[in-house]
Amino acid sequence: MTRRASSKEKTILVTGGAGFIGSHLIEKLMPNRVKIRVIDDLSNGSLENLKPWLNNNNFTFIKGNLLNSADVAEAVKGCEIVYHFAANPEVRVGTIRPDLLFQQNIKATYNLLEAIRKTETINKIIFASSSTVYGEASKLPTPEDYAPMEPISIYGASKLACEAMLMAYAHTYGFHVVIFRPANIVGARNKQGAVHDFIQKLTDNPNELEILGDGTQTKSYLLISDCIEALLLAVEKSERRVEVFNIGSEDQIDVNTLARIVTQEMRLKNVRFKVTGGVEGGRGWKGDVKNMLLDISKLKSLGWTPQFNSRESVRLAARQMLSLTSQTAPLLIKTT
């Protein structure tokens, strides 16, 4: 069974489109004369992120929840492509409320797939997975075909479960799936992650910064603009029934370095770093992957290369976030 793409103007559904990655994707897609529909319950996203498009005739916003079958059926009706970004993005919540990740990630994805299989128009789904599906990989950089996949967090397990369902539905019901596993994506509108958390903490107390873990956690970071360019190229070039792509930078920095960059961008001096020591060998929390670096050679073979490395991505992300609350936003330029 294979679904055929419609010849008419495409209608694209973005679940979680009021959130961080979704809103940046929409910003890139809207000038292309496509029709965009967003479904979001605004639990993590904000209508402010979609403000430029709310009165555009080619844009439709549905305040709805993927756990509500009626909302999902309304959202998918007449669409050709689905970008599935809706999820609970908080990794740490799995240690105390694993049920939330089951409902908001796994069950929500199942509901979406059930609605999609009942349509005849949707021929491609793009899914935001996570690098956490690899767990504590023994091979760095970690390629897409790494095995065995052994997540160490409930969040990572929920994303891996979603991947498996998407693959099975694609083969059973005849549509295409593109799965991307991002590193730590940073930039304006991001309300999760170390850059956001450090800015908030230093705003409250500019003299001391608490760092979860031992500060040596080492990961790669990618600016949101690089992420969107990589994602769109992967979608354009994908031809197989199921494609999986890592998206990240080619280097790493540790959390202590990230903290120093944020304090520099906030023009703070003599800030005392207070590491908590963490759990299980210095992790920030149970399930925190301490060392992460993705192999991005598959995406590079398509012609994509990140414009910024991890250090530059963090610095520019901090500037973008700080500029949102400042009338004298600094100029965003490539730094070394």
Q: Mean of the per-residue pLDDT values for the chain?
A: 93
Helix (H) and strand (E) counts in the chain: 10, 13
Closest CA to 302 of 236, 217, 212, 225: 236
pTM: 0.93
pLDDT value for 324: 83
- State the greatest distance between any 2 C-alpha atoms of the chain, in Å, as a whole number: 64
Structural domains of the chain in order of their starting residue, each with its CATH number: 11-185+222-247 (3.40.50.720), 188-220+251-292+305-323 (3.90.25.10)
Q: How far is CA 204 from CA 32, 210, 272, 325, in A?
A: 41, 11, 14, 14
Sequence-distant (6+) residues with CB within 8 A of 142 are: 131, 134, 246, 292, 293, 294, 295
Inform me whether the pLDDT recorded for 249 exceeds 60.
yes
Identify the band that residue 3 occupies on the pLDDT scale cut at 50, 70 and 90: low
**Are 3 and 120 within 8 A, CB to CB?**
yes
pLDDT value for 8: 54
Pairing relation of β-strands 221-223 and 59-63? unpaired
Q: What single letter denotes the amino acid at residue 133? A: V
Structure confidence by residue, pLDDT tens digits, 253-282? 999 999 999 999 999 999 999 999 999 999
pLDDT value for 333: 32
**Are 22 and 83 within 8 A, CB to CB?**
yes
Q: In terms of DSSP H, where are the helices of the chain?
A: 20-29, 69-76, 98-101, 108-117, 154-173, 194-204, 224-237, 255-265, 297-300, 310-323
Q: What tokens were used for 213?
A: 């873990």
Q: What tokens were used for 329?
A: 């936003």
**Are 82 and 122 within 8 A, CB to CB?**
yes
